[in-house]
Chain A
Amino acid sequence: MNTHTFTPLGQTALQITFGEAIDRAVNHRVHAAWRALRDADLPGVVNLVPAYATLTVLLDPLAVLLGTASLLAIQSQLPSLLAAADAHRFTPRQIELPVRYDGPDLARVSTHTGLSEAEVIRRHSAGVYDVYFLGFSPGFAYLGGLDPQLATPRLDTPRVQVAAGSVAIGASQTAVYPQATPGGWNLIGHCDEVLFDPLSAEPCRLQPGDQVVFVPVEASC
C-alpha cells in the first residue's frame, strides 16, 4: 500500500516518510513526490530535500518567525499532491560517466574481494546505479546498486584530500567525489568529467532519481 507519514521538524520543516529502509521502490516514490511538490511551488517552501526514504520540506525559518509562512498552510495541500505523485511514473535519465579504472586502492579491493582487478572493473562497470539522493557535499550522489561482491571496508585512516572525480567504494556503496574533500573510501578510478560547477546554471551533473552507468576508458598519456 502507498502510505506515508508526516513528521514535523519543529515549526519550519516537515519530513514525509515513505518507508524505513533503503529500497528502490520507496526511493522512486520519494522522487515522484519531490517532482510533484517542486512543480506545485508551495508558498513559503524554500527547499525540498529528497533522501533514501524521506522527502523533507523546508520553509524559510525567517518567514515562519515573521508569520508569512507556516507548515499548517501547506500541509492541507500535501495529501492530494502526494496521491497524484504516486500515480505518476517518471522515466529516469541515464547518465554515462567515463572512468579510468586506475585508482590507488584497486589492488586493495581486489585483495579484499578475492576478485581479479579486471573482474572488479568488469563488475563495477556492469552496474546500473540509482542516484538515491545528493548530500554530504554539493553534488555528492549516494548511489544504489553496487554488486554486493564488491563491498570493501572503508580505509582505517581517511585521506586528508581525495581528488575531484575519484570513483570510490565504501563498504556496500559506491560514489564519485564531485569535489576535492577528505574521504575514507577505496579509490578505484577517476572520472574526468566535471560533476559539480557552482558557476553553471545546472551546477550538478547528477540529479536525484537519475541512473548512472560507468563506462571504462583507457588511461590517456
Chain B
Amino acid sequence: MLILEQPALYSSIQDQGRFGQAHLGISPGGANDSLAAWLANRIVGNAENAAVLELIEPPACLLMVDGAHAVFSGADANIRCNGRPVPLYARCWIPAGAHIEIDRPKAGSTVYMAVEGGLETPVILGSRSTDIRLGMSPLTRDAFLPVAIRTQAPRSGHLIVPPAYINGFRLCQLYSSELDVIPGPHFDWLDADTQRRLGDRGFTVSSQSSRMGIRLQGEPLAAPERQCLSAGVCRGAVQLPPQGLPILLAAEHQTTGGYPLVLQVCAHHLSRMAQLRAGERIRFRILNEADVADRLAQWQAVFQRTLKRISHEEH
C-alpha cells in the first residue's frame, strides 16, 4: 500500500482504458500518456493493462507503507526516494516507510508510477481508470492506494535497471516543440490562408486543459461556417469550434462531437500531446500520408531496439 501525501494538480488511477463502452457514451479514458504507463508496467514486470498512478502537474509526495518494486515514467521530473535520486524508466526497490518526492517536471506534464503487482482499486465497467462521469473521484490528499502484493523483497540493491537508453529515447520527444499531425476530415473546409496559418502559427497550451481535452490559446482562426452532424471522435483529433481556437481530444474525450475535425495528431506523437502542459508553446507540423507512414515505421524501429534493451537488462 502507498499513501499519496501530497497530490499533484490532478492525480488519478489509470490503466489502458475502458474498452467496448463508447456506444453508450462512456469515454475510452485510460492513461493520457498510454505509452509511458505501458512501459512502466512492462519494466516493473506487470501485466500491460495494470493500473498505475497518474500525476498531472506534480509536485507530489508519496509514502510507501509496504516495500515494493516500482517504476516511474512520463515527464522529465526529478524524483527522490528518501532523498536519493530515482531515474525514470528504472525498476527500483522502494523500501517500506520510504518518502518519495516528485518535483515539477523540467519537460512534460505527467508522471506515472507503476508498482509491482499493480494498483488494486475497484474495477468499474471493465477498468480501474478514474472517470468522474462514472462517479469516480480523482485522488485527494492522503489517499490510500492498495497494491496487489507480489514479491516483497528486493532482488538486489536500490536500483536494478538504469536504462538511460530509454530516457534518451523518450526525452527527445518531451522537448519537441512541434506536434506531428495530418489533415483531418474537415481540413478542406478551411480557406487556404487558415490552412497555412494552422501550420505556421504557434499556440500556447491553456490552463483550461484537462484529461478530456487540451485547449490552445492564440489568435483565433477562421472556423468553418459549415456544421457537422455529431459523430464519433477519437483521441488526438483536433477540433476547431466556432471561436477559432483548437481543442485536442485527450484520453477522456467525449465519445461524440460536432465540431469540425481539422487535424489529427499522429500515433507516434500522442504521448507528446498528452505531455503538453499549461503555458507551453506548440506548433503543428502538418505531414502528408506517406511521411506519416514513414515516421511511424521509424518510430517502431527505434522502439523495438529499446524493448530489446529492456529484456537484455532484465536477464
Contacts and interface: CB of A to CB of B under 8 A. Distances in A.
Q: Do A and B bind each other?
A: yes
Interface of A: 7, 9-13, 15, 20-22, 34, 46-56, 58, 60-62, 64-67, 133-140, 142, 179, 198-199, 203-204, 207-208
B124 A199 contact: yes
Overall SS of chain B's interface:
mixed
Contacts of B133: 137-138, 179
Contacts, number: 144
Contacts of B300: 65-67
A105 B1 CA distance: 50
Contact of B256 (A62, A66, A136): A136
A134 B25 contact: yes
B20 A46 contact: yes
B185 A49 contact: no
Contacts of A140: 25
A41 to B, nearest CB: 10
Given A10-B237, A61-B235, 4 more contacts: A58-B234, A138-B25, A140-B25, A207-B23
Nearest to A10: B264
B234 A9 contact: yes
B179 interface: no
Best-surrounded residue of B17, B35, B233, B261 (most CB of chain A within 10 A): B233
Contacts of A56: 231-234
A63 to B, nearest CB: 9
B24 A204 contact: yes
Interface stretch (B5-13, B165-173, B265-273): B265-273
B256 A22 contact: no
A51 B256 contact: yes
Contacts of A11: 266-267, 292, 296
A34 B184 CA distance: 23
A36 to B, nearest CB: 13
Interface string B135-152: 100000000000000000
Contact of B23 (A13, A50, A60): A50
Nearest to B34: A62
Contact of B237 (A9, A65, A134, A137): A9
Nearest to A208: B23
B135 A139 contact: no
B63 to A, nearest CB: 30
Contacts of B28: 46-47, 58
A10 B265 contact: yes
Contact of B235 (A12, A50, A136): A12
A32 B178 CA distance: 41
Of the candidates A7, A62, A139, A142, the one having the most CB atoms from chain B within 10 angstroms of its own CB is: A62
Interface string B1-42: 000000000000000110111111110100000110010000
Nearest to A64: B267
